[in-house]
A and B are shown apart, each in its own frame.
Chain A
């Protein structure tokens, strides 16, 4: 027994590994798990970058990387090596400490979040039963939200510390985008937590294990899953929500001034969070490692892992597919989608789910109130946009300009926009 670990033990109380107390073997198992997960994540990021480049090149009728290794599978390795040996530049006006810190603030949370993803079922080794999951804290989902929010700091600070205008614009966009989508994301996660009754990812997965229609995506009637996925794409700054690093407008966005290994870290973090978020989509809505398992002795534990990997791969493909199919949103479109559509929708859906969790009558009442509320909200939106377009509502700053332009009022709202 290691006495000091008693302090940590209650946090991991749900994990059967710590049921018999914490000994050296348990510590060894945890260590091996950490190393395996870390290694597997690094390799999977490599493969993900290769996968993305191959799939998108196929979708764009190109060949894609095919020189390094069979089918170009080692292309990422080659790129990484190249970046490693390149000159590391720090701009003159950069805040040196924050500039160096930022990439790690982005990478580490991306790694950390994966720690609570259930990869497989339970395995018994050396008389210890443990879950195929790095950690299963009782407040797992809160951990996810906290950690994914820290990732934003990396991007914000990177842009700010670069001492250059494009990165700054990129990071301003990043913070606005993440804050608006975090709300919708949190709301859908709350729905999952409501129906499960636990914050632990393992409990969420177990609650979905019985049948296909127990999967949260189906149980919550698809909409929360769609909102969650849209929000996740926005959270990971992937197309069509990649305004943060919009090449055409902002050069490279927040990482414009970064080079060499620091740039590689940002790149790594982006793909890492893509994988992590796909894994979370699977965990929260598609039953995680749940799936039919044939009863073959000794290797039965592999099948849940395969199910998990297969499901995750589907969402990774969807990420790439989105990038190939959709053009980038404008900034106002992004904000409209987030604030005017996703947040009201997820709020209403949350109320309905909460109502049905209590009982059917509450559910029906909530549906009615949400319908009434959405009618009112739509009306409010339309009145608002009407008054805005006829200049009935003009901000204080605008009023002064407006009186000057009074002599020749614009004939249409779009014409008046550029005076």
Chain B
């Protein structure tokens, strides 16, 4: 969309007056927060969760890499050898103490990057206010997902609908080892209750928003774009219809959520049945670029595809 070249110098003296007048008629960018909540960003960094494998085993192996990398020094981990008769994690050790102090955490997600087993991920849950310091220190029992693979709801946490489904978005949005070539490639293990999940929207177009339920930033902020920058579906009467539907959703929760939730469960079912075709999103230019994808990348991608089609 070509934006018109702004007039130079004093030609545009009256432009400011025109623009400010136009803004009088536009809806405000800011929202009345507690009453009206903006959709969360695709890569929102919220509080952590400790994940489990699909068979119920804990992913954490007590390696303490997260504690080592944490710049705010807010993670305390102690590993212990797995009891031979009833192992807690598939590895040699498991994390038997795991504490995160959220008064110190800066939500940089370095722990998520460091974790070799994707045991710790950040959910989008960010609305929690403690009334005492001990509440702010989440213990392992509080951090670990329940039997359905969903995070535990603390009494001081304010959750929105569907928040408990997005527990590892950031991890799935970034590519392993940060290489752009791997973006959107499924190289993570399955999660309890969800199976192997689809990639979240990253920087490329390699994303599956319908399944992951994430909303692109551009869509979140669309109300405030100048008309020329708005997507066609949001302009004019069509846009007004869409906004009206949105309002309906806000008045009667679940009005439009059904569709999204259905897609989510459909996807989870498909995963369990072994139909992983949806994992393979259309190839993007970046992953085909030889400069960006080293040889290792090709073998790895090949691996995933093979195992996917074999199972």
Contact = CB atoms under 8 A, between A and B. Distances in A.
Are A and B part of the same complex? Answer: yes
A326 B15 CA distance: 10
A325 B19 CA distance: 8
B4 interface: no
Interface stretch (B25-33, B72-80, B193-201, B247-255): B25-33
Contacts of B21: 59, 321
B9 to A, nearest CB: 14
B1 interface: no
A175 interface: no
Contact of B28 (A55, A57, A326): A57
A58 B22 CA distance: 10
A245 to B, nearest CB: 21
Contact of A63 (B20, B24, B28): B28
Nearest to A55: B24
B16 interface: yes
B38 to A, nearest CB: 13
Chain A CB count within 10 A is highest, among B20, B23, B224, for B20
A408 interface: no
Interface residues of B, number: 15
A62 to B, nearest CB: 5
Nearest to B32: A63
Nearest to B27: A61
B161 to A, nearest CB: 24
B17 A325 contact: yes
Nearest to A60: B23
Interface string A48-91: 00000001011111110010000000000000000000000000
B30 A62 contact: yes
A151 B26 CA distance: 39
Contacts of A325: 16-17, 19-20
Contacts of B24: 55, 58-59
A61 B20 contact: no
Given A58-B24, A59-B24, A326 B16 contact: yes
Q: Which bracket fits the contact residues of A?
A: 10 to 19
A58 B32 contact: no
A58 B30 CA distance: 10
A61 B19 contact: no
B20 A62 contact: no
A61 B30 contact: yes
A326 B17 CA distance: 8
A63 B16 contact: no
A62 B28 contact: yes
A236 B186 CA distance: 64
A322 to B, nearest CB: 8
A62 B19 contact: no
A122 to B, nearest CB: 38
Contacts of B16: 324-326
B23 A61 contact: yes
A61 B26 contact: yes
A35 B28 CA distance: 40
Interface string B191-218: 0000000000000000000000000000
Contact of A58 (B17, B19, B23, B31): B23
Nearest to B26: A61
Contact of A321 (B17, B29, B31, B224): B17
Nearest to A66: B32
Nearest to A67: B32
A58 B27 CA distance: 8
A258 B27 CA distance: 37
A55 B28 CA distance: 12
A326 B23 CA distance: 15
A63 B36 CA distance: 12
B155 to A, nearest CB: 28
Contacts of A61: 23, 26-30, 224
Contacts of A326: 16
A66 B19 CA distance: 24
B17 A62 contact: no
Contacts of B19: 325
Contact of B29 (A55, A62, A66, A324): A62
Nearest to B18: A325
A75 to B, nearest CB: 15
Nearest to A59: B20
A57 B30 CA distance: 10
Nearest to A324: B20
B126 to A, nearest CB: 22
Contacts of B17: 321, 325
B273 to A, nearest CB: 48
A55 to B, nearest CB: 8
A60 B30 CA distance: 10
A5 to B, nearest CB: 50
Interface string A134-146: 0000000000000
A66 B30 CA distance: 13
Contacts of A58: 23-24, 28
Interface of A: 55, 57-63, 66, 321, 324-326
Interface of B: 16-17, 19-21, 23-24, 26-32, 224
18 contacts: A58-B24, A58-B28, A59-B21, A59-B23, A61-B26, A61-B28, A61-B30, A61-B224, A62-B28, A62-B29, A63-B28, A63-B31, A63-B32, A66-B32, A321-B20, A321-B21, A325-B16, A325-B17
Given A61-B224, A321-B20, 10 more contacts: A57-B28, A59-B21, A59-B23, A61-B27, A61-B30, A63-B30, A63-B31, A63-B32, A321-B17, A325-B19
- The 3 A-B pairs of least Cβ separation, nearest first, read A325-B16, A61-B29, A59-B20
